[in-house]
Amino acid sequence: MLKPMTWLAKVLYWPLKPLVRCKIVPEPVAENLALDPKQPVFYISRTASASDLATLARICHKLGLPDPMEPVLIGNQSLSRIIFLEQPRVLWGSRASTDALQQGLALLQAHLQDPHFSAQLLPVSVLWGRAPGKENSVKSMLGESESPSWLAKLFIVLISGRHTLVRFSKAVSVRQIIENSTVNEETAHKLLRVARFHFYRQRLAATGPKLPNRAALFNSLLASDVLKKAIEDEAKSKKISIKEARAEALKLLEEIAADYRESTLRVGDRFLGWLWKKLYSGLKINNGQVLTDLVQKGHEIVYVPCHRSHMDYLLLSYVIYHQGLAPPHIAAGINLNFWPVGTFFRRGGAFFIRRSFSGDKLYSAVFREYLSKLFSKGYPVKYYSEGGRSRTGRLLQPKTGMLAMTVQALLRGIDRPISLVPVYLGYEHVMEVNTYLTELKGSSKKKESIGGVFSAVRKLRDYGYGYVNFGQPISLNSFLTQQVPDWRAAAETADTQKPVWLNPTVATLSTVIMQRINQAAALNSINLIATCLLATRQHSLTRQELTTQLEFYRNLQHYAPYHSGVTLPEGSVSQWIDHAIRLKKVEVSQDSFGQIIQLTPENAILLSYYRNNVCHLFMLPAILATALLQHSELSKVQLINICQLLQPLLQHELFLQLDQFNAYIEQVLAQLQQHQLVETKGQSLQAASVQQVGHFMLELLAFNAQDVLQRYAVVLNLLQLHSPLTRAELEQQSHELAQRLSTLHGISSPEYHDKQLFATLINALREAGYCHSNEQNELEATAILLPLQQTVNGLLRADVLQTVLSIVKKKD
């Protein structure tokens, strides 16, 4: 039956070439598929189609894979290399069945006859266009059919041929199938059923669910019991009619809801492809396979990235689209809903959210119901748990509103598992970084406008590389079962009651998400060079010194990794430095002794942002280095104790999370010894002598903990010497003291202007029991604060400690 189709596919091979442009996933195909070249490959696809076969043949030729139109010879038997599960629809009459069952049986029996034969069955999906289609649409009977007739396929190829997606899935070993099953017709049927379900999920993953009519969606939402009650309450509270309250609810839906259009995605894909080439040397994507695995298991995906820049909205959706998956609906700040950007974002899947729901019960009800509808329909969703962009480069403390609504949506009866995917987004240049420091110093945030967009466009240049690292997913269902074993019981009252466990559980979940974002951090040439140069007083190093320190940091993260999800930059250290020079992040001067790499005063402040993106990776090594520099000698046990004492505060502020804490500390100490930064003295360790290069390298490493330890010292000494203090007084005095410290010691770091960091530290101290609130709601130090204060004071440089103590004592 395949012979006429193969003949037609060969006829169409060249005429189709100008009409078809394919996106192939995963990339690179050969490395991801890991096929055994010694064993034959068979392809399995959904619908018998000459155009599909011709397109697949061209792609296989390009990738160096076996030709699907050529048969496979097994002894004296010739088997077709491709298996189609079903025939296309016909213009009249009923569809015939394919030879898939007979081919499957023949393939299984061939394995029984030859014990050395082990075929690889490679599923391939050919999707002509990525349009999800619309519910109750006439198109679903024509161009959007999964098995279109030859006439419908003709129009599909002409209209969507240049937007074709071809996805190769992991090959299945036929030998393993027969080892676990009896070779008979039932086994072949089962194999084909599994394959059909696989292709259904592949299509759903690539296009997303069918889109509802926008007006019909709004009417269904307004007709829900939850919104009916909210509308009635709104009418009573504002003394207006039900009709007026309903009109207000409809207006809110218009403000919030996305207007997803596949045509916008096509235009956006082309525009962004051009934009990334203008902006970036390239995009680095890591661990994208985790998304395909989740989709294949039928999971609802919620992307939870960190938030560095407005570019995040575009970058992550673009990357997901090019992973062969449907772009998510995106929670965007209402500040981005300005003409014409707001319209473009809305049609690209953005739904808009106000900064606060406080006091507006109708808005809260409308938004929750809309979000719940997205989940129930099966749309992937993306939101930023930080709420806003980080101005310092560190992760912000998470906002839990969207997470809480996600959990509540699950309680309302979603029949699929939900997985939260943390995403680390990194840049070698953030377009808004120049404005962040001025905002931290007190300048008001500029309102987004079309003028700002044009201003940004005029400044387009090469910004280096962009990084998208997908972290370890969190199964929301499993997480809830672990935290609240009887959470499913709350589903019965999900519409009327908020479970008492919701807030603390969501708070824990938000922390785990931030920890996993940091575990997927991307080290790059800019943040590593910033980490090195900012540690020097003059923000300069010889090229040889910089090269040596960078090689040490690379080896430190390779042999004592913070986490397996952390990625290292490619290329040599020399190439990293040349890359930073080309991006004008550093300046180079030359004398008779060689090159000096340095930062201008302006760049020194800006590059602290990029250093802060990855400061958590070097924090514990820096504390170890600091302890060894400040004390003549320390045992491993003493060093581990110092780190453990500070760990609760670091975990709260930097979202540190290590699976094997003590083992990690020992690995770091081993690397310090390996690179001769540390020496052994009996049973203790000490810093390398001042005359050795290792001592200078240890000082550079130690600098990474300086700002954190100084802020800790400010708050701890104020608490110890002046409590009780109101929270507001402690935050204000801490901020003022830090500002003075910054002036006296020439510290230029964004976090010294960030009042929120002091509030975060005070929360961490309370949670760890270092202070508590008295009857007047003032903060008082507890007995365990003194050892912490003494430890931190012992890690400060003498001049800085003297400044802190003298200023604190003047507060008396």
Q: Which sequence spans correspond to the domains of the chain?
A: 2-207, 260-519, 525-703, 705-810
Share the mean pLDDT of the chain. 88
Tokens of 209: 């669910």
pLDDT for 414:
81
Closest CA to 508 of 482, 472, 526: 482
User: HSE of 59 in the Cβ direction (CA atoms, 13 Å)?
Assistant: 26
What lies within 8 Å, CB to CB, of 613 at 6+ separation is 308, 393, 394, 426, 521, 527
Does 138 have pLDDT greater than 70?
A: no
In this prediction, residue 174 carries a pLDDT of 87
Range 603-616 average pLDDT: 91
| Residue burial 632-668, b: 16+ Cβ < 10 Å; e: rest | eebeeeebbebbeebbbbbbbbbbbbbeeeeebbebb
- What pLDDT does 746 receive? 65
- Phi, psi angle pair for 663, to nearest 5°: -65, -40
Residue 369 clears pLDDT 90, i.e. is over it: yes
What pLDDT is stored for residue 31 in this prediction? 79
Give me the sheet containing 634-635, strands edge to edge.
Answer: 634-635, 684-687, 678-681
Residues linked to residue 589 through DSSP beta bridges, in sequence order: 596
Q: Give the separation between CA 747 and CA 800, rounded to whole angstroms.
A: 11
Task: Please tell me the distance from the alpha carbon of residue 687 to that of residue 504, in angstroms, as a whole number.
Answer: 43
Q: What was the pLDDT predicted at 176?
A: 85
Of the listed ranges 117-126, 141-150, 540-549, 803-812, the least confidently predicted one is 141-150
Query: What's the alpha-carbon Rg for the chain, to the nearest Å?
Result: 30
Distance between CA atoms of residues 329 and 382, nearest Å: 6
Q: What percent of the chain has pLDDT over 90?
A: 55
**78 bridge partner residues:** 73
pLDDT band at 145 (very low <50, low <70, confident <90, very high): low
Note whether 260-519 and 705-810 share their fold: no
Give the DSSP H/E element, type plus range, for residue 647: helix 636-654
Burial of 690 (0-12, 13-18, 19+ CB in 10 A): exposed
DSSP state of 443: P
pLDDT at residue 609 greater than cutoff 80? yes
679 Cβ contact list (under 8 Å, min separation 6): 673, 685, 686, 687, 688, 689
Number of CB atoms found within 10 A of residue 94's CB: 8
Q: What is residue 338's predicted lDDT score, i.e. its pLDDT? A: 84
The residue ranking higher by pLDDT, 437 or 85, is 85
Q: Which CATH class is domain 705-810?
A: mainly alpha
Cis peptide before 569 (omega within 30 of 0): no
Residue 295 contacts residue 301 (beta carbons within 8 Å): yes
The rounded distance, in Å, linking the Cα atoms of 773 and 776 is 8
**Contacts with 239 (C-beta within 8 Å, 6 or more apart), sequence order:** none
**pLDDT given for residue 360 in this prediction:** 87
Identify whether the C-beta of residue 408 lies closer than 8 Å to the C-beta of residue 494. Answer: yes
Q: Count CA atoms closer than 13 A to 213's CA, side-chain side.
A: 8
pLDDT of residue 454: 46
Say yes or no to pLDDT of 2 above 80. Answer: no
Which pLDDT belongs to residue 151?
Answer: 85
Tell if the pTM clears 0.75, that is, is over it.
yes
In this predicted structure, what is the pLDDT of residue 450? 45
- Would residue 682 be called left, alpha or beta, if left means φ above 0 and alpha means ψ between -120 and 50 degrees? left
For the chain, percent helix, then strand, then coil, each to nearest 5? Answer: 55, 15, 30
Confidence label for 184 from pLDDT (cuts 50, 70 and 90): confident
Find the angle CA(86)-CA(91)-CA(96) to the nearest 5 degrees. Answer: 30
Please give the average per-residue pLDDT across 732-755, as a whole number. Answer: 73
The region, left, alpha or beta by phi > 0 then psi within -120 to 50, assigned to residue 136 is: left
Whether 772 and 782 have beta carbons less than 8 Å apart is answered as: yes
Using alpha carbons, select from 449, 500, 238 the residue that is nearest to residue 363: 238
| CA-based nearest residue to 43, from 8, 13, 85 | 85
Predicted confidence (pLDDT) at residue 179 exceeds the cutoff of 90: no
**From the CB of residue 342, how many other CB atoms can be counted at a distance below 10 Å?**
17
Burial status of residue 275 (CB atoms within 10 A of its CB: 0-12, 13-18, 19 or more): middle
Question: Closest Cα partner for 474 from 656, 654, 651, 302?
Answer: 302
Least confident of 282-291, 325-334, 481-490, 704-713: 481-490
Is the per-residue pLDDT at 135 higher than 70? Answer: no
Contact 616, 516 (CB under 8 A): no
- Three-state secondary structure call for residue 134: strand
471 φ, ψ (degrees, to nearest 5)? -85, -175
Tokens of 498: 């908020």
Question: Cα–Cα distance between 205 and 296 in angstroms, integer?
Answer: 8
Q: How confident is the model at residue 488 (pLDDT cuts 50, 70, 90)?
A: confident
- Quote the tokens at residue 232: 């009635």
Q: Which of 7-16, 134-143, 266-275, 463-472 has the lowest mean pLDDT?
A: 134-143
State the pLDDT at residue 453: 47
The answer to whether 774 and 722 are in contact (CB under 8 A) is: no
Task: Give yes or no for residue 359 having a pLDDT over 80.
Answer: no
For residues 752 and 741, give the distance between their C-alpha atoms in angstroms, rounded to a whole number.
9
Q: Percentage of the chain with pLDDT > 70?
A: 92
Q: Identify which of 315, 311, 280, 277 has the alpha carbon closest to the alpha carbon of residue 465.
A: 280
Encode 556-585 in three state secondary structure: HHHHCCCCCCCECCCCCHHHHHHHHHHCCC
Q: What is the pLDDT of residue 141?
A: 44
Q: Provide the pairing of β-strand 41-47 with 82-86.
A: parallel
Class of domain 260-519: alpha beta
Distance CA 174, CA 167 (A): 20
Which of the four pLDDT bands, split at 50, 70 and 90, describes residue 187? confident
